[in-house]
A and B are shown apart, each in its own frame.
Chain A
């Protein structure tokens, strides 16, 4: 609880669970949810470094807030793309949307 390493390993675990989900999930929404986990691992790392190693306590907090803002924008765009893809292909499984494949 008092060491930087605990938080860093927790962040790495979140990142790797997210990566596992991104690789194995069949639907686009599942992959997007896994991306949120990856971004959260990054935010946790920023906060941990801020608490233990930074001489200015606001830097890491500001960066974590920016990460959250970007995650929100990404969720809005990706969800609307998914709705458009679903209307066009009537399917959101990633294996069946292969029109761009040469």
Chain B
């Protein structure tokens, strides 16, 4: 009996999906920066984050992949959409940058990219004898609450301070406006 795996080898499917995810991530990234309309930018950012979440699956971590979807697509993009929708005139930023600025930015980023790739090609990474393969969420949770406990608590504190600060700053704007 023939199965699909006889015609299309699974490794080929895996590779195809990987490059599809790369395409999704990169086209989303381009869409996140090039159009002048901000809502399009946010949608492009969501698409790009979706692609990167898929790539995290290939890097062996389902947990981080799900967190990427939850935090970036679910929280950050929605926060942007809220901020845009709640203050209608913010969408007015939809004018094209000048050609001069565009060319300068393009040159700067292309030069940075070439320098980075040169550096990556020149580097020698020492391969490990036995790479760690303990990917369970249980281990991750234990490490977060033992070795990285201080960082973990600091991130929580940072989030609380950031959210209280956000409320304070927004209220500051209101009281100035009323004067």
Contacts and interface: CB of A to CB of B under 8 A. Distances in A.
Interface of A: 1, 4-5, 7-10, 12-21, 23-30, 32-34, 36-37, 40, 43-44, 47-48, 50-59, 61-62, 64-66, 68-77, 79-88, 90, 92-93
**Which 7 A/B pairs are nearest by Cβ-Cβ distance?**
A21-B33, A27-B93, A23-B105, A80-B166, A84-B173, A73-B162, A87-B173
Contact of B61 (A18, A21, A36, A61): A61
10 contacts: A8-B120, A12-B113, A26-B96, A27-B38, A52-B131, A54-B132, A69-B155, A72-B162, A82-B83, A92-B90
Overall SS of chain B's interface? helix
Contacts of B143: 58-59, 62
Contact of B89 (A32, A34, A86): A86
Contact of A88 (B42, B125, B127, B176): B176
Interface of B: 14-15, 18-19, 22, 25-26, 29-30, 32-34, 36, 38, 41-42, 45, 48-49, 52, 55-56, 58-61, 63-64, 67-68, 71-72, 75-76, 79-80, 83-84, 87, 89-90, 93-97, 101-102, 104-106, 108-110, 112-113, 116-117, 120-121, 125-128, 130-135, 139-140, 143-144, 148, 151, 155, 158-159, 161-163, 165-167, 169-170, 172-174, 176-177
Contacts of B110: 16
A80 B109 contact: no
